[in-house]
Amino acid sequence: MDRRDFVGMGLAVGAVASVAPARSAPANAAFKPGGALDAGVLQQQELMAAGKLSSHALTSQYLARINSIDKSGPRINSIIELNPEALKIAREMDRERAAKKLRGPLHGIPVLLKDNIATADRMSTSAGSLALVGVRAARDAHVVAQLRAAGAVILGKTNLSEWANMRSTHSVSGWSGRGGLTRNPYALDRNCSGSSSGSGAAIAASLATLAVGSETDGSIVSPASICGLVGIKPTLGLVSRGGIIPIAHSQDTAGPMARSVTDAALMLAAMVGVDPADAATLDGAGKAGDYAKALDKGGLRGMRIGVARDFFGSNDELDAVIERALKALAAQGAVLVDPVQVPNVAKYGDSETEVLLYEFKANLAAYLKDYAPDAPVADMAALIAFNEKHAATELRYFGQEYLLRAEAKGGLDSQEYLDALANNRRYAREEGIDQVLREHRLDALVAPTGGPAWLTDFINGDHYGGSFSTPAAVAGYPHITVPAGFVHGLPVGLSFVGAAYSEAALIGMAYAFEQATLHRRAPQFPASVSLAVK
């Protein structure tokens, strides 16, 4: 494939609303782990430092792999658009390296962004919606500016659950009107979860070194777990929300998705920073840890970890995997407090939804005014009307119930909203996670992140099984998932949740567990699960 072919791949690859039958990859497309494309950040940097690899060559190889794995072969369909400037950026990073001007660990490293993260370049930022196809952001999201300053090569945008899965009560994760359906590399007929579906599938399939996801409740950790990855949902305000197409400012955050704890930690270090336009980052100023230093194989020694048993029980085989993980934690020196109960979880189920609906309406209008003033829609009402006008494509599989409910809400001065928000913060924070950590003198909580991937179902929608995402999501506290094993060949993750700004400690624990177990295996793109495989 020559340079003209790569440039041609910079055109949008989305706008595929149909769902083609799943099929296995041809033999020559089978995943071959161990090469530069599957390597981590530090290994790729070693190769570039030794002159055995360049950023341009690495970016070119990822583009070729996207063509053979994402757009043909198994066609996992994780990339919604490629950056036509990616090779140019890579070449500039190589020039800087030759001039001894290294920006840090991400210098020349290809990174994918979820397509709700604004980039002031030739790519759209659409949240997967046909309403924003061709709409270019007025400026970079703050996190994109941070990554560019760190030397990352922005390779493209990933598909997602449209509007970050806040459109329908019967949605199918990983499907968007613009991008179609993203398939799970571990079984093509199964779901990647969402809403960072494309980011999860792409990194699992080694289509880039790193990806950025975003989470309101589960949208990083769930697809990371289901795709056999490490995902970090940071404390609210550690990473700027500026320029990310929003759902709710009280819960939204971006975070890294990677094949190892090391890669996720290095990426998080590049993403954090104070954004004068985001007040939450002002509260987080000076609270970032030394995430590289936290990568310690002894990171579990002496840590008191509470086992949140209320989040077990959705799947017997999953529970068996997590029981083995608990033994591994103890073997590495952790002190398990088993069981513990996260109190008052049931008290913010309904109020969480209320807050999301109120904030989605207000936050979407503010984003469109600030970052996409030329978009054909300016607010929730206009978006609803657009979808109704284009119902044959946008509403072909499920509706827009959440959009309609959000539009019916009042402003952020509504007493109903203020009461719901206060309820969330009380019961998720001081009378939730803070309380259980304090009472048992815990450093972290652990539980299964969620169940294995389910069959994609366009008739009945998603069926998740269990999930441990909500307490940390509503509290705005950090949550890390790490590969813990497999259920019938499908990855599942172990979650570590802690107090606000405890990312460094959680990274240390996650790293020690990862290095002691090394559960991650590369996907092989089977058409379906083999029940003979445990």
Query: How far apart (Å, rounded) are the C-alpha atoms in residues 221 and 217?
Result: 9
What number of residues does the chain have? 534
Burial 115-137 (b: 16+ CB within 10 A, else e): bbbbbbbebbbbbbbbbbbebbb
DSSP 167-225: S-TT--TTEETTTEE--BTTBTTB---SSSHHHHHHHHTTSSSEEEEEESSSTTHHHHH
Task: Read off the tokens for 157.
Answer: 């945008």
Helix (H) / strand (E) element for 279: namely: helix 279-283
DSSP 330-350: HHTT-EEEEEE--TTGGGGHH
- Closest by Cα among 297, 340, 379 to 131: 379
In this structure, what DSSP letter does residue 29 have?
G
Task: Read off the tokens for 102.
Answer: 């290294």
Active site residues: 114, 195, 219
- How far lies 276's CA from each of 9, 240, 241, 286, 397, in Å? 36, 9, 11, 14, 41
Cis peptide upstream of residue 195 (ω within 30 degrees of 0): yes
44: amino acid identity, one letter: Q
| Rounded (to 5) percent helix, strand, coil in the chain | 40, 15, 45
The long-range contacts involving 320-326, CB below 8 angstroms and separated by at least 24 positions, are 321/448, 321/484, 321/485, 321/486, 321/487, 321/492, 322/447, 322/448, 322/484, 322/492, 322/494, 324/484, 324/485, 325/446, 325/484, 325/485, 325/494, 325/513, 325/517, 326/446
Query: How far apart (Å, rounded) are the C-alpha atoms in residues 123 and 420?
Result: 37
Task: Read off the tokens for 313.
Answer: 């029980």
Strand partners, 180: 176
Query: How far apart (Å, rounded) are the C-alpha atoms in residues 151 and 109?
Result: 7
Q: Say if strands 490-497 and 444-448 run parallel, antiparallel, or are unpaired.
A: antiparallel
Query: How far apart (Å, rounded) are the C-alpha atoms in residues 313 and 442?
Result: 23
**3-state DSSP call for residue 415?**
helix
In this structure, what DSSP letter does residue 22 have?
P
Query: How far apart (Å, rounded) are the C-alpha atoms in residues 55 and 110?
Result: 8
